[in-house]
Amino acid sequence: MFDGLWLDGLWMFPLLGVAAGVLAGLLGVGGGLILVAALVWLLPLHGVPRDAAMHAALASSMASIVMTAASSAYAHHRRGSVLWPTVAWMVPGLLLGGWLGSLFAVGLSADVLRMFVATYCFIAAAQLVFGKHKTRGDDAAIVPRGAGMSAAGVGIGAVSAVVGIGGGSMTVPLLVWHGVLPVRAVGTSSACGVAIGIASALGYALHAPAGALPAHAIGYVYLPAAIGVAITSVLAAPLGTRLAHAISGPALKRIFAGFLVLVGAAVLYSG
């Protein structure tokens, strides 16, 4: 049974990892949303009960995001586009928010979680199309610091844990509003995603009801999915990073916004 499970995962879960990795490096947003939408459909095929599939999709997405975000952050770091002082200020809040958000999500029904995820997809799509980020000069020397960044991290971590993302769709606009160059905002957001993924995945793993998932799971984290996605996302994230440094984003963001609308609809329909 285990061999058969992995045989399926070798072409489904790693394929998802490629898409998630490229998007994580390219936009700092969207990889987790795609994972959740796909996993909520795929996990029942691997024996995950349908009433637990939404929670498992979120948990497995967060677990895989740890490696995806780390790979993206390292690639951005090599290009000098991670603001580590900002990351240091945000990490305490991100850890706390990710932990609390996962605890909150564990207590929600699958249908309520679907509504949260779908609504967030639609909001993120609207932000990509209509959002106009006011900056303060795009000064390369700007490095946001302070307790306000830590407080923002709590909210970003909590929302990210509930909808299964690395927080890029919130962290990037926040940093750009502070005047950070967009490509450095994406790189910094990737590093922040590591903290969100760790705290959230631990929360989903440790606070799931006993026996929530079949074998090969820790709490709500379904290991074949998390590992299968992580393996290829780590390899794909640097490609997204190179694209982020090479192309203009407006047209791509509009296309991706339309895709997010489809993702939100798919999550709703999965119920």
Question: CA 246 to CA 158: how far, in whole Å?
Answer: 32
pLDDT digits (tens, 9 = 90+) for 103-134: 999 999 999 999 999 998 898 888 877 766 55
Q: Helix H segments across the chain? A: 2-27, 31-42, 50-78, 84-106, 110-130, 147-163, 168-177, 182-206, 223-246, 250-269
Q: How many domains does the chain have?
A: 1
| pLDDT band per the 50, 70, 90 thresholds, residue 146 | very high
| pLDDT band per the 50, 70, 90 thresholds, residue 199 | very high
pTM (two decimals): 0.85
User: Which amino acid makes up residue 51?
Assistant: D
Determine the structural domain holding residue 168 and report its residue range. 2-269
| pLDDT of 71 over the 80 cut | yes
Question: CA 135 to CA 58: how far, in whole Å?
Answer: 33
Q: Which residues fall within 8 angstroms of residue 136, CB to CB, at 6 or more apart?
A: 142, 178, 179
- At 217, is the secondary structure helix, strand, or coil? strand
250, two tokens:
């407006």
